[in-house]
Structure 1
Amino acid sequence: MRHPRAYYAAVAAAVIVTLVPGVPATADQRSPVSSPTVSGPIPGAVPGDRLASAVEDTYPFFSTPDDLAARGYVEREFYLSGVADGWDQQGVRVATDVPYRTRIVVRRPARGHGFNGTALVEWQNVTAGYDLDALWNGEAMMRAGYAWIGVSAQRVGVDQLRGWSPARYGSLDVTGGGRYLADELSYDIFAQAAKTLGARGSRAPMGGLDVRTVLAIGASQSAARMTVYYQSILPQVEPVFDGYAFIVGSAPTRVGTEPVFQVLSETDVRTPVRPSPDTGQFRRWEVAGGAHSGWHGQQYRTPISVRDLGAAPVYDCAQPPFSRVPVNHATAAAYDHLVRWVRKGVAPPTAPPLVFHADGTKARDSLGLALGGIRYSQVSVPTARNTGDNAGQSFCFLFGSHQPFDEATLDGLYPTRAGYLARVVRADLSNVHAGYLLPADARGNLREALASGVGG
């Protein structure tokens, strides 16, 4: 696993170099994005959900345990092969037509009537040393009818796949036979994966579904890679994405034609200086109390890690880890806004920034909760101190913290159960009306409040 300081150094380097974009080209000068060869779906699925005629006792790495069938969804994996151009982080083309072979994972409605027309194409995160579908949010995505496509674009993830199942993944290579080890091919591979979504036929990745909108999404390190792509490479190549969501990571400063949405947790906002103001093509949301890698994602990935890696990581952090503030609620709302932005030109709402003191430290209330930002009911009607801060071994500094209030504090804050529940409802209705929270997620917050026993 990459050391966190080394990881942040790499991300910082990516952000710095993207401040100088590549040479822009006119529309007719932009290089076309190649259409790769797609084969699959690859036989094999997790036990109990095998595809017919499976010929190998394998399944997609980190296959979701979510009950897709109950929501009318399927998960399919495909090989992508072709030739890709290589780019450095300054937007300079360093190679052309380099052979590659990788995989994509597709989770989509089985039939057209359940599809909302939008494909979310995620650049799989490899910070932990393997492909991570960091932005898969099954509850919200399937509820809305999105398709999700995970792309294995980077060497670290592909190398791990090859070792995890040589039978399934041994032929994969995104380095041009070891000639390009700094992920120079990754940008073109990511774009080519998006271009496959227009293919027709029952064995195509989208199974014949009519894709109207294609959004690029990436979290953390993947957001940094997408920043390089948007800032320095996209001006020179054919656009294949309609919009971009940069989650808990950097975002480009270049003003392009495709809208950009950045969602940050409290962890990610470390200075009162914001690189880019909101514009007609850019939105930045900051979520008070949220963590770069919080409770929702950890709960989802723990059983998968046990199944596919043999164990889930255990962390010894300075404070109890994993903020419970649902940053995933902000991303779910952001995707919906981004679709309307692309299709109808309706810009998303702006959001207040987190508040900082004059000395550059975050402002907090008497309970230790950050001031400003998007404030979900977990922060504005708190039952615990959720922050974006932590320290300790490995990735603890990304987890935030969660410290439940004692009974005396809760009794002082919420003398009656009815009063507590009413405050939760008011807070979430305010966020729904502001556009920061989807109604279904507000109902989920209320269910959690009802089950908490607070004020009882």
Structure 2
Amino acid sequence: MVLWRTPLRLAAVSLATVLLGAGAGAGATATAVPAGTPGPAPRAGTPAAVHGPVAGSVPGDPKAADPAGTYPWLSAPGLARAGYVEEEFYLTGDADAYGPTGERLADDVPYTTRVVVRRPGSPARFNGTVLTEWQNVSGGYDLDALWAPDQIMRAGYAWVGVSAQRVGVDQLREWSPARYGGLDVTGQGRFTADEMSYDVYAQAAAALRAGTGKVLGPLRARTLLGIGASQSAGRMTVYYDHVLPQTEPVFDGYGFVVGSAPGRRGGEPVFHVLSETDVRAPVRRADDEGYRRWEVAGAAHSGRFGQAYREPLLTRDLGAAPTFSCDRPPYSDVPLHHVIAAAYAHLERWVERGVLPPAAPPLEFAADGTKARDADGLARGGIRLPQVEAPTALNTGDNTGETFCVLFGTHLPFTGEQLNRLYPSHTRYVARVAAAGASAVREGHLLPADAAADVRDAASSDVGRDRG
């Protein structure tokens, strides 16, 4: 197997690429189909053909060994203990190509891509909902940005990562030619700016819906949610606003996370979850019957959870994880993924039973246009998790420095003097964490299991112990 061992290449990715989407500026070589030209009936719901599962599993797992020694990129460890399995499939089909404002550029362009599936091994563990993630490629490779194992496996979701974009597929081909050399989402170089990505994503979802090729094993999907983070949310915004109206819907609802969200009022519900990093102005789209927006105080676009989980996997698969020199200590400890888990649960009920999710207060802005902060520097307003309501550190969504530092937020532990002022005893600290968690649960912004974990963490900490 060939390992891609140049993590410093990541530093060359510009902030514009992060926020606007990798590959978005590349030029297509095709000419748009003239307006009014007859074309095939809308068919973005056509399932792709499925091949697999592809041999090879987490390194060291002998149960699905591949003679070539390959395994899925960023293969997840520890699934079996939770009764989960990971499988990878190749998808082939003919996709339509679209421009960034929905103009159809070509019909029926051949492609081959892959999906990675993490699902309950038994139908009894499956909650019926498939989280279908548009893999993020801002770092130059496919990233399962919304894979949060504790929350996803606890709830019994199936998670599927779709490789829809050229940057991710090209890196896969370079990383393991033996496993991924046959992948192509450009029509053999005809479309290099991800014009085919929208239909590739939709066809992957249609295959999940139809159960094509047993891509979900023995499971049958009841609810299909499309999810994407950061640049992937941007790609999904184009899909929802401009491509979906021309095609057949395949998703029941959508989760747009730490990125843009559609402006169009569509038939499928849209949940929009933003960290403090991503809220840059006090002007927002208002909630309505098809749209909910949550903003999380103190959380970062890319906080500590994702860093801690993926660093060993990137070290395994790249040879070294990337490092960054930021102007302030990264990463925010506010667990945005806990709020995302609550949003999934609400989105599921919204789709299946028409139950509108609760609203959330917005982050507050000062008169000068900056985010309003309290005496400790914490953001005011927004969803307030225990890490903000019972703080032991300054967690913000802000930072500066090289490349991705602007997305990492800040974590500055409080001094002993600050902790003593806030918490006269350990018992008072734990009680404050418990109260904050209970409040967030009542408001619908936090799940009980995650609130209980916060209390356990507080109880095992040393905060206030020297004061009784």
Aligned with 2:135 (options 102, 118, 124): 124
Secondary structure of the 2:430 match is: helix
Contact 2:13/2:139, CA 8 A, preserved across alignment: no
Q: What is the aligned partner in structure 2 of residue 352 from structure 1?
A: 361
* CA-CA distance at 1:29 after TM superposition: 6.4
> Over aligned residue pairs, what C-alpha RMSD do you find?
1.7
Per-residue CA deviations over 1:198-223 (Å, capped at 9, x if unaligned) read 3448x611112121000000000000
Q: Does 1:304 pair with 2:304? A: no
Q: Does 1:42 pair with 2:54? A: yes
Q: What is the aligned partner in structure 2 of residue 259 from structure 1?
A: 269
Contact 2:47/2:205, CA 8 A, preserved across alignment: no
Secondary structure of the 2:244 match is: helix
Aligned with 1:403 (options 412, 415, 418): 412
| Structure 2, gaps ≥5 residues long | 1-9, 25-34
Secondary structure of the 1:452 match is: coil
Contact 1:243/1:260, CA 8 A, preserved across alignment: yes
With over 3 angstroms needed to count, the CA separation of the structure-2 counterparts of 1:199 and 1:154, relative to structure 1, is same
* CA-CA distance at 1:8 after TM superposition: 5.2
Secondary structure of the 2:460 match is: helix
Q: What is the aligned partner in structure 1 of residue 82 from structure 2?
A: 71
Aligned with 2:197 (options 186, 190, 195): 186
Q: What is the aligned partner in structure 1 of residue 13 from structure 2?
A: 3
Contact 1:199/1:206, CA 8 A, preserved across alignment: no
Q: Does 1:222 pair with 2:232? A: yes
Q: What is the aligned partner in structure 1 of residue 352 from structure 2?
A: 343
Q: Which runs of 4+ in 1 moved over 6 A?
A: none
Q: Distance in 1 between matches of 2:306 and 2:167?
A: 21
Q: Does 1:175 pair with 2:181? A: no
Q: What is the aligned partner in structure 2 of residue 433 from structure 1?
A: 442
Contact 1:31/1:236, CA 8 A, preserved across alignment: no
* CA-CA distance at 1:308 after TM superposition: 0.2
Contact 2:18/2:230, CA 8 A, preserved across alignment: no
With over 3 angstroms needed to count, the CA separation of the structure-2 counterparts of 1:8 and 1:358, relative to structure 1, is farther
Per-residue CA deviations over 1:310-335 (Å, capped at 9, x if unaligned) read 11111110100010001001100000
* CA-CA distance at 1:232 after TM superposition: 0.6
Contact 1:34/1:84, CA 8 A, preserved across alignment: no
Per-residue CA deviations over 1:105-128 (Å, capped at 9, x if unaligned) read 000001100000000000000000
Q: Does 1:86 pair with 2:111? A: no
* CA-CA distance at 1:70 after TM superposition: 1.1
Q: Distance in 1 between matches of 2:293 and 2:371?
A: 18
Q: What is the aligned partner in structure 1 of residue 155 from structure 2?
A: 144
Q: What is the aligned partner in structure 2 of residue 99 from structure 1?
A: 110
Q: What is the aligned partner in structure 1 of residue 432 from structure 2?
A: 423
Secondary structure of the 1:59 match is: coil
| Structure 1, gaps ≥5 residues long | 15-22
Contact 2:23/2:192, CA 8 A, preserved across alignment: no
Aligned with 1:166 (options 162, 177, 181): 177
Q: Distance in 1 between matches of 2:117 and 2:413?
A: 38
Q: Does 1:209 pair with 2:209? A: no
Aligned with 1:373 (options 365, 376, 382): 382
Q: Distance in 2 between matches of 1:6 and 1:423?
A: 40
* CA-CA distance at 1:52 after TM superposition: 3.6
Q: What is the aligned partner in structure 2 of residue 250 from structure 1?
A: 260
Q: What is the aligned partner in structure 1 of residue 422 from structure 2?
A: 413
Secondary structure of the 2:214 match is: coil
Q: Does 1:241 pair with 2:251? A: yes
User: Number of matched residues?
Assistant: 441
Q: What is the aligned partner in structure 2 of residue 287 from structure 1?
A: 296
With over 3 angstroms needed to count, the CA separation of the structure-2 counterparts of 1:32 and 1:13, relative to structure 1, is closer
Per-residue CA deviations over 1:345-380 (Å, capped at 9, x if unaligned) read 000000000000122111000000000000001001
One-letter amino acid of the structure 1 residue matched with residue 330 of structure 2: P
Contact 1:284/1:351, CA 8 A, preserved across alignment: yes
State TM-score, norm by structure 1: 0.94
Q: What is the aligned partner in structure 2 of residue 133 from structure 1?
A: 144
Contact 2:92/2:112, CA 8 A, preserved across alignment: yes
Aligned with 1:268 (options 261, 266, 278): 278
Aligned with 1:383 (options 361, 367, 392): 392
Secondary structure of the 1:420 match is: helix
One-letter amino acid of the structure 1 residue matched with residue 134 of structure 2: W
